[in-house]
Amino acid sequence: MYKCVHFFLDSEPDLETGLELEPRLKSRYVKNDFFGKNEVVILRRLIMLPNFRKHFHVCKSIETVKIAELGTNEYNLQTVNYLKDDHSMLLRYADEMLLYLNGFIQSLSCSRKYIYMLTNFYMRLLSNIHLLVSNNIVHNNIGFKTIVVNSFELPILTNFRFSLNLSVSGSKMNEFLKHIFIQYNPGHIYWPPEIHLLCYILTNKMSSLSLNNVETVLSGLKIVYDNNDNNALLKHFAKYVNMNCDQIIADIMRFSGTWDQYSLGICYLKLIGDLEKNIKTSNNFVVMFLELLRNTVNALPSKRPSVSETLAKYQKLLYDCSIADLYSLSLIKRF
């Protein structure tokens, strides 16, 4: 886990008008290490995208600072004494209230708004992911702690320290991945099986895989697949046995465009699953939505739809959905 310091930069109000002279900023001090540099590279690319603030939580400015400068009036910081790096970066964000997705959704007291936000947010988040994929970026860390709702009630993505810049290619990509996937953690349910295999290869510095290695990875997964999926996954991964690991990594990376929607699918299966428990009769919309979500989290990477395909299917699902199905959802008593 990385450490960061959160603080506020308060501008003094004008004595005559009472208005603030400058907008209030919330800033984050990050180490100038691999992950800090990676985040800055991604943020600078995101800033170039049209209407990026509707999709991502991006800082207003990035500054290189020395710890010695942080106590000056310019930065007005007093809580960074424990930091050791002499050259680090200050990411300065607009000071706005952000709420975690699940907290925001669960806080809605109106059932109709709850259903509207839940269904609308999925399409917006898919659009956010589609924008990333279209620009050769994988967020790589989507979960309930990296999806936030801003003051305009728009779901946006934050925390790009672990993001993948797919513009990097060849041997440079393999070196880049070694820095990103530094820990093998099969308990991380938001990652698909092939990422866990990738982590296993990189953290163990392997040059090839045995069938036993593949079975070890599959047995460690915390997501429970049915027997057919497990057998198909074993067969899929078995093709990597005795293959050079550079070739394995290149093949795995072919499916990186599906990883963020896989993570989002896991989040929404939790949210929709909770909703389904409160439905007394079968609801066609929920049934179809769950089927769509399960397709995005298919154990086999080759069976997952692209983000654009999922987006098109979900738009059609909403268009074809009967008013009665959506209305019945809004009558559910959740509290």
- Number of Cβ within 10 Å of residue 166's Cβ equals 17
State both tokens at 108.
């809605």
How large is the average pLDDT for residues 126-130?
A: 97
* pLDDT higher than threshold 70 for residue 277: no
Question: CB–CB of 162/259 below 8 Å?
Answer: no
Domain boundaries, the chain: 5-94, 97-335
Which residues, 6 or more positions from 192, have their beta carbon under 8 angstroms from its beta carbon? 255, 258, 259, 262, 297, 299, 301
| Cβ atoms of residues 123 and 318 within 8 Å | yes
Instruction: Find the range with the poorest average confidence among 74-88, 114-128, 154-168, 223-237.
Output: 74-88
Which residue, 133, 108, 156, 97, is CA-closest to 259? 133
Look at residue 233 and tell me whether its pLDDT is greater than 70: yes
Residue 9 has what pLDDT? 38
CATH top-level class for 97-335?
A: mainly alpha
SS3 65: strand
Classify the C-alpha dihedral 5-177-238-293 as positive or negative.
positive
Confidence of residue 69 (pLDDT cuts 50, 70, 90): low
C-beta separation of 300 from 264 below 8 A:
no
Query: Are the C-beta atoms of residues 215 and 198 closer than 8 Å to each other?
Result: no
240 and 207 in contact (C-beta within 8 Å)?
Answer: no
Give yes or no for a contact between 322 and 287, defined as CB atoms under 8 angstroms apart: no
Among the residue ranges 83-97, 148-162, 229-243, the one predicted with the least confidence is 83-97
pLDDT at 68: 60
Q: What is the pLDDT of residue 321?
A: 83
State pTM to two decimals. 0.86
Give the pLDDT mean for 175-199: 94
Residue 155 pLDDT exceeds 80: yes
Weakest mean pLDDT among 5-14, 27-36, 97-106: 5-14
Sorting pLDDT into bands at 50, 70 and 90, what band is 76? very low
303: phi then psi, degrees, rounded to nearest 5? -90, -10
Q: Check pLDDT > 90 for residue 193.
A: yes
User: Using alpha carbons only, how large is the chain's radius of gyration in Å?
Assistant: 22
Type of residue found at 97:
M
- Rounded to an integer, the average pLDDT of 268-289 is 76
Q: Grade residue 78 by pLDDT with cuts at 50, 70 and 90.
A: very low
Looking at residues 198-206, what average pLDDT do you find? 95
> What is the average pLDDT value for the chain, to the nearest integer?
83
Say whether pLDDT at 190 is over 80: yes
